[in-house]
A = this chain, B = another copy of it.
Amino acid sequence: MELGVYTFGEVTGAISPGERVRDLIEEIALADEVGLDVFGVGEHHRPDFAVSSPAVVLAAGAARTERIRLTSAVSVISSDDPVRVFQDFAELDLISGGRAEIMAGRGSFIESFPLFGFDLEDYDDLFAEKLQLLLRIRAGEHVTWSGRHRAPIDGLGVYPRPQQDPIPVWVAVGGNPQSVVRAGVLGLPMALAIIGGQPERFAPFVELHRRAAEEAGHPRLPLSINSHGLIADTSQKAAELAFPAFKAMMDRIGRERGWPPDDPRAVRRLEDPARRGLRGQPAGGRREDPLPARGLRARPRAAAVQRRHAPARRPDALDRALRDRGRPRGARGGGAPHRRDPSPA
């Protein structure tokens, strides 16, 4: 089992994109310091997110860290060139001494498609074809490939090569069974987004991924689950801290997607203690369980030994590190959309 944080570098409230990105790099450094296993950064092409080039931000993080793994979350390969994506993350892998991962996704937002000249009609075909090219590049230095959505490559080399061979490629899945099966058949680990809804509803996807991999002759594959999260002393406190930014984001996206303002889906999630956390927490947990951090990764025992694990840390290391940095604990969110306190002290 590994634990990590993913962020989209959301820009909410009175913070500039530059401050947000520089804070983000501090968050990566802190995550490494307290012993988290993985840090992920997403790709967006909108003014309300500060990161369109995850590898560039992660490279700055690599220079500040020693052990934590660094991944996109996600790279929207459908509207990118898999050669560039591979090169960026190979470079990151060299810089970080073999700690880079690529999480390939189809994207939840659609701005990148018209911006890079792709047709949303090809949404799934673009992803399938580009994932195939990415894997082809990963498999060997010289690539021969042709497809519908990118110029063919005739035996050319792609450089630099990453330090890890192979560099991990995950497939991010929202809730599309076809994507789940594709990941399993290709023998790729799956990053399952549980952004809304009851976690137990997603169990069939895990089963489907496992079965598809098994039928294609692959060994049992790693799995990660990814949910909103913000850690505080109690779930009540976490909900209070997270709610304003979470509501603002849901309302903003809801307007674009035709949800009503104050959408009960967004509001109730944080108002109802029973819906604040993932299920399956220890039965002896406190009544007010802290919210889980984003990016819990469960790995089968067989795969786990292939990875170097971070040394165990004392649980109070996080508190100490946060105190040393002179910031209140609640003011540093994990992967959750967080904002600086807008009220004067």
Contact = CB atoms under 8 A, between A and B. Distances in A.
Interface of A: 17-18, 21-22, 25, 44-47, 49-53, 55-57, 59-64, 80-81, 83-84, 87-88, 90-95, 97-98, 111, 114-118, 141, 150-154, 156-161, 163
7 contacts: A17-B94, A18-B98, A44-B159, A47-B141, A47-B157, A51-B160, A80-B84
A178 to B, nearest CB: 27
A93 B22 CA distance: 11
Contacts of A161: 17
Contact of A46 (B52, B90, B159, B163): B159
B49 A159 contact: yes
A52 B91 contact: yes
Instruction: State the number of copies, please.
Output: 2
A112 to B, nearest CB: 10
Given A45-B159, A159-B47, A53 B94 contact: no
A305 to B, nearest CB: 24
B56 A115 contact: no
Contacts of A59: 56-57, 59-60, 63
A53 B52 contact: no
Contacts of A17: 94, 159-161
B63 A60 contact: yes
A157 B46 contact: yes
A-B pairs, 5 with minimum CB distance: A117-B151, A63-B63, A59-B59, A60-B63, A18-B94
Contacts of A118: 151
Given A81-B116, A116-B151, A159 B52 contact: yes
A59 B51 CA distance: 13
